[in-house]
Amino acid sequence: MSSQYAAFSTEQTCADLETDAVNGLTSISSISQRKLVHGENILSSDEEDSLIRQFLKQFVSDPLILLLFGSAAISLLLGNVSDAISIALAIFIVVTVGFVQEYRSEKSLQALNNLVPHNCTVIRFGKEQLINATGLVPGDLVRLEIGDRVPADLRLTDAIDLEIDESNLTGETTPRSKTTKTQPNAVSLAVNERRNTAFMGTLVRHGRGKGIVVATGKDTEFGQVFLTMQETEKPKTPLQRSMDQLGKHLSMISFAIIAVIVLIGFVQGKRWLEMLTIGVSLAVAAIPEGLPIIVTVTLALGVLRMSKNRAIVRRLPSVETLGSVNVVCSDKTGTLTMNHMTVGKIYIPGMKFVYTLPDSSVEKIASSNLGFEKLLLAAFLCNNSKLRDQKAHSMFESGYVGLPVDVALAECASRFGMQDPRNSYPRLSEVPFSSDRKFMSVVVQHAHQKLCCMKGATEYVLGQCVSYVTEGGLVLDMTETMRNEIFEREREMASTGLRIIAVASGTSFEKLAFHGLFGINDPPRENVHESIKCLLASGVRVVMITGDSIVTALSIARTLGLPLPNSDEDASGTYALTGEQLDALSPAALRELVPQVSVFARTTPQHKMKIVSALQSHGDVVAMTGDGVNDAPALKLADIGIAMGRQGTDVAKEAADMILTDDSFATILAAIEEGKGIYNNIRNFITFQLSTSVAALSLIAIASLFHWQNPLNAMQILWINILMDGPPAQSLGVEPVDDDVMEKPPRPRNAPIITTHLLRRVLLSAFLIVVGTVFTFKLQMRDGVVTARDTTMTFTCFVFFDMFNALGCRSETKSVFELGMFSNRMFNIAVGGSLIGQALVIYFPPFQAIFQTEPLAFKDLVVLAVLASSVFWLDEFIKWYRRERGLTHSKSTYLLRHV
């Protein structure tokens, strides 16, 4: 709505809203009526379900949860209360995690209200009054001062040196200079181009002004971000989709096999109660009720590890999704860069080259250089920044506050050891910077004489100069040759994306001496270049999205190492797109072009969502980083939203799946590595669980087909189920991350968790377990009679196979001896505990009665251990063979190794 008033003059705006540019609204009834029509000036979501209703909905939202309920019911029918309790615990954990995720996602909407000020100064009936900002209505006249947060969208009627920080809405670091001039084409302009409008939630950095409220609440630009977030649904993670499919398929196959086994038993004349008991036991063993809880525990432990590495994960499934990310869309300001303007280059007339900062050699030169001293002095005097805290924690935290350019110059002078000289140079007058003048000037008093200082655009400052100061401090007459050299240096510095500030001083503004140029930019964060290089090498694309100009964006992108041609002409339109170009593209055209683009400039929140959607339409798993309100919708839409913990807004943090507490892009690299490791661990324990489940079902099926007495009774099957879903399986989820995990390319979005290789591994292990167990069973019952010793040998053989199989499942590609036998302490404890439990089942009389077992001799255990170890040794041989044949990594991974 505010865009239409940007095209109106102040007179037209007042007429349309029936208000006055001096006295504001003058009718109580009119204010009340407008409040009824437009509502309160707040961002409120639609009526939501109660917390209890949201929690209960989680129980029917997942087919696997319903299957778990069935499994719990079967356990109760068997009288196995402990198993039913464990299943209920799994259900509770899964449901609670889902509920917390849904609840937290809604908090991102509420966080927007934190940026709406509680109070504001409004002019009504010709008098200023302080009111609650929620009471504003269209037509109100609002006064703005330095430090005020804009309470609604305003059409400015007065703007005196007014500059507003819109970074949390547009992503631009530089405060926007505001004016009252009409913009006829405002409807088609982006938010950051509407110079006669102040937007809700932005911050006044300089000057003062007044404006008429033209939009409140959801009608504001902030409100549009709010509505976009409200309409955006968080996509399911690849892991959630894979687990959904796995649960359905396993359950259907298992129930079909169990039904066939029970039917065969009835046909063969076996007692129906015996077959029903076996069938129910197999159902409990076959249904993957332990899978959700093991996945949850694995993800939760991953969250704990990542928190120690300065990454806070808010949605558990997001941990694994990080391993599938193949595109990282990063906001530039505050994410790839410091969001803190600083001096990067300095030029003094006559210098052979431009000095680059920070550089210790430059500081040594400056300490004995009179030209440097005069340049820094003039820049410090012509400066409105203020010192907030004299205890600086770093070169970027000097404690100065004010306009970014002023802060950058003050910090630069301080870096070279200059104390703030302004107390010794009382200011007599000031001409503040404006977009029309393009310079700032001051007159100060020193030693009974006046000193005039000026800083601003090079052409304006240089136009007032009749001389220049060299590095050595000599004052020489300005020549045409020197003017051309200065302009050449300016073009050279500006081509690298720097904002150029020229500085001069003298006894009068008509006879200034030119001191030099400062190149100011928002520098890249530490280790960003190296992190991007590693991500690119591991098959992850990095796309930069910013509200800055295309020239600045391309310069930063090249500095960071993004793949771009050397010239802007080659990059524009193919490797880089502006928001305006993006708007001109159809969805199909954007979808076709987006895989080639590395830089998007002059973007809005809507643009960011288009980019994320276009990438996702290719099947890409997209991570989106950001820190501002403008990033929040895209953070929510992306598969992984990553917010900055230090400089990020509450809105961005609430919308994100992960928060970087150190604001370091490099932390994303570690998070992706952790995500890949967790996915490998999930595959490992799924391999273990499936091979055990398939073996148990196959063993009973074979016995039924050949009219054998069942080799395992119901309680023994349930004990195997406890081992399959218990400590051994869970300990596989905490296996340390492989060192070479980043050499593997990201997993495609639609890639099934059950691959052909995994299935072959499962079937081979299950085959060996069944063959070995059947061999033991048939060997023991040579006399044709099944005794307690026979079933105990068979049962123990199966358990030993299970433990050796778990040992081989620690890694899909690496030998256990390469991993280290004792590298996973939890695994050793779990397997040791399981073997102790098996010993109790065999040798402890009360358990012997329950499980129908009898003691075995030591040599029996040795023979069974040697036989059962075959599943481990065969797995080790296959891993060795695949490594020798180069089958462990894909071709693309092999190439990445040699980049």
> What are the boundaries of each domain within the chain?
1-44+116-230, 251-306+675-885, 311-337+524-663, 342-521
**Distance from C-alpha of 407 to C-alpha of 396, rounded to nearest angstrom:** 10
Please check whether residue 504 is in contact with residue 374, taking contact to mean a CB–CB distance below 8 angstroms. Answer: no
Same fold, 1-44+116-230 and 342-521: no
For the segment 29-47, the average pLDDT, to the nearest whole number, is 81
Nearest-10 crossing angle of helices 714-725, 290-308: 20
**Distance from C-alpha of 705 to C-alpha of 701, rounded to nearest angstrom:** 6
Q: What angle do CA 503, 506, 508 make, to 5 degrees?
A: 120
Q: Which SS3 state, helix, strand or coil, does residue 526 take? A: coil
> Rg of the chain's alpha carbons, rounded to an integer?
35
Please check whether residue 316 is in contact with residue 299, taking contact to mean a CB–CB distance below 8 angstroms. Answer: yes
**Distance from C-alpha of 41 to C-alpha of 133, rounded to nearest angstrom:** 7
Average confidence score pLDDT of the chain: 81
**Distance from C-alpha of 263 to C-alpha of 282, rounded to nearest angstrom:** 14
Q: Which of the two residues, 353 and 484, has the higher pLDDT score?
A: 484
Q: Is the pLDDT of residue 646 over 80?
A: no
Name the residue with tokens 């987006």: 594
For the segment 452-479, the average pLDDT, to the nearest whole number, is 94
CA distances from 90 to 67, 583, 738 (A): 12, 48, 28
CA-nearest of 523, 556, 544, 173 to 337 is 523
Residues facing residue 542 across a β-bridge: 328
**Distance from C-alpha of 387 to C-alpha of 567, rounded to nearest angstrom:** 41
The CA dihedral of 133, 136, 140, 142, to the nearest 10 degrees, is: 10
Q: Is the pLDDT of residue 647 over 50?
A: yes
Burial class (CB in 10 A: 0-12, 13-18, 19+), 859: exposed
Confidence tier at 105 by pLDDT (50, 70, 90):
very low
Please check whether residue 178 is in contact with residue 195, taking contact to mean a CB–CB distance below 8 angstroms. Answer: yes
The helix (run of H) or strand (run of E) holding residue 198 is strand 197-198
pLDDT number for residue 59: 65
Q: Is the pLDDT of residue 48 over 60?
A: no
Helical ranges in 809-869 per DSSP H: 816-819, 825-843, 845-851, 858-868
Confidence tier at 82 by pLDDT (50, 70, 90):
low
Q: Is the pLDDT of residue 881 over 60?
A: yes
Q: Is the pLDDT of residue 745 over 90?
A: no
Segment among 137-141, 524-528, 562-566 with least mean pLDDT: 562-566
CA-nearest of 714, 711, 692, 686 to 803 is 692
**Distance from C-alpha of 663 to C-alpha of 749, rounded to nearest angstrom:** 27
CA distances from 109 to 168, 223, 224 (A): 15, 10, 12
Please check whether residue 731 is in contact with residue 301, taking contact to mean a CB–CB distance below 8 angstroms. Answer: no
CA dihedral (371, 377, 378, 384) positive or negative: positive
Proportion of the chain above pLDDT 90, given as a percent: 34
CA-nearest of 451, 406, 517 to 442 is 451
The helix (run of H) or strand (run of E) holding residue 372 is helix 370-381
Please check whether residue 609 is in contact with residue 638, taking contact to mean a CB–CB distance below 8 angstroms. Answer: no
CA-nearest of 144, 151, 84 to 116 is 151
pLDDT number for residue 32: 92
**Distance from C-alpha of 602 to C-alpha of 616, rounded to nearest angstrom:** 22
Render pLDDT for 152-171 as a digit per residue (tens, 0 to 9).
999 999 998 888 988 777 76
Give the tokens for residue 625.
């980083």
Instruction: Write phi, then psi, for 734 (nearest 5 degrees).
Output: -110, 20
Is beta strand 153-165 parallel, antiparallel or unpaired with respect to 176-177? antiparallel
Please check whether residue 623 is in contact with residue 327, taking contact to mean a CB–CB distance below 8 angstroms. Answer: yes
CA dihedral (191, 193, 199, 205) positive or negative: positive
Render pLDDT for 584-624 as a digit per residue (tens, 0 to 9).
999 999 999 999 999 998 887 778 889 999 999 998 999 99
Q: What angle do CA 316, 319, 322 make, to 5 degrees?
A: 145
CATH hierarchy code of domain 311-337+524-663: 3.40.50.1000
Give the tokens for residue 717.
């099957």
Ramachandran area for residue 318 (φ above 0: left; ψ -120 to 50: alpha; else beta): alpha
Confidence tier at 878 by pLDDT (50, 70, 90):
very high
Q: Which of the two residues, 816 and 398, has the higher pLDDT score?
A: 816
Confidence tier at 74 by pLDDT (50, 70, 90):
low
**Distance from C-alpha of 348 to C-alpha of 86, rounded to nearest angstrom:** 75
CA-nearest of 542, 601, 605, 606 to 576 is 601
Q: Which residues contact 205 (CB under 8 A, 6 or more apart)?
A: 146, 163, 164, 165, 175, 402, 403
For the segment 440-467, the average pLDDT, to the nearest whole number, is 94
Please check whether residue 444 is in contact with residue 427, taking contact to mean a CB–CB distance below 8 angstroms. Answer: yes
What is the secondary structure of 91-154 as a DSSP string? HHHHHHHHHHHHHHHHHHHHHGGGGS-SEEEEEETTEEEEEEGGG--TT-EEEE-TTPBP-SEE
Q: Which residues contact 193 (CB under 8 A, 6 or more apart)?
A: 183
For the segment 811-834, the average pLDDT, to the nearest whole number, is 89
pLDDT number for residue 242: 67
**Distance from C-alpha of 409 to C-alpha of 389, rounded to nearest angstrom:** 17
**CATH fourth-level superfamily of 342-521:** Calcium-transporting ATPase, cytoplasmic domain N (3.40.1110.10)
- What is the widest separation between alpha-carbon atoms in the chain? 121
Render pLDDT for 190-206 as a digit per residue (tens, 0 to 9).
788 899 999 998 888 88
Segment among 281-285, 484-488, 720-724, 830-834 with least mean pLDDT: 281-285
Task: Tell me the fold of 1-44+116-230.
Answer: 2.70.150
**Distance from C-alpha of 258 to C-alpha of 264, rounded to nearest angstrom:** 10
Q: What is the DSSP letter of 58?
A: G
Give the tokens for residue 872.
């481990």
Ramachandran area for residue 751 (φ above 0: left; ψ -120 to 50: alpha; else beta): beta
Q: Is the pLDDT of residue 15 over 90?
A: yes
Q: What is the DSSP letter of 351?
A: -
pLDDT number for residue 896: 33
For the segment 485-492, the average pLDDT, to the nearest whole number, is 92
Please check whether residue 551 is in contact with residue 572, taking contact to mean a CB–CB distance below 8 angstroms. Answer: no
**Distance from C-alpha of 657 to C-alpha of 631, rounded to nearest angstrom:** 13
Q: Is the pLDDT of residue 673 over 90?
A: no
Q: Which residues contact 295 (CB under 8 A, 6 or more apart)?
A: 239, 243, 682, 733
CA distances from 557 to 57, 345, 523, 867 (A): 46, 18, 12, 60
Residues with catalytic function: 331
Name the residue with tokens 């189920």: 721
Give the tokens for residue 219.
């009608």
CA-nearest of 108, 332, 100 to 232 is 108
Please check whether residue 516 is in contact with residue 371, taking contact to mean a CB–CB distance below 8 angstroms. Answer: yes
CATH hierarchy code of domain 251-306+675-885: 1.20.1110.10
CA-nearest of 528, 506, 517 to 483 is 517
pLDDT number for residue 393: 40
**Distance from C-alpha of 114 to C-alpha of 687, rounded to nearest angstrom:** 48
Q: Is the pLDDT of residue 571 over 80?
A: no
Confidence tier at 366 by pLDDT (50, 70, 90):
low
Segment among 93-102, 505-514, 612-621, 764-773 with least mean pLDDT: 93-102
Is beta strand 439-446 parallel, antiparallel or unpaired with respect to 449-456? antiparallel
Which residue type is seen at 857?
A: A
**Distance from C-alpha of 96 to C-alpha of 59, rounded to nearest angstrom:** 10
765-781 exposure pattern, b = at least 16 Cβ within 10 A, e = fewer: bbebbbebbbebbeebb
The helix (run of H) or strand (run of E) holding residue 422 is none
Q: Is the pLDDT of residue 211 over 90?
A: yes
Q: Which of the two residues, 683 and 889, has the higher pLDDT score?
A: 683
Instruction: Write phi, then psi, for 510 (nearest 5 degrees).
Output: -90, -15
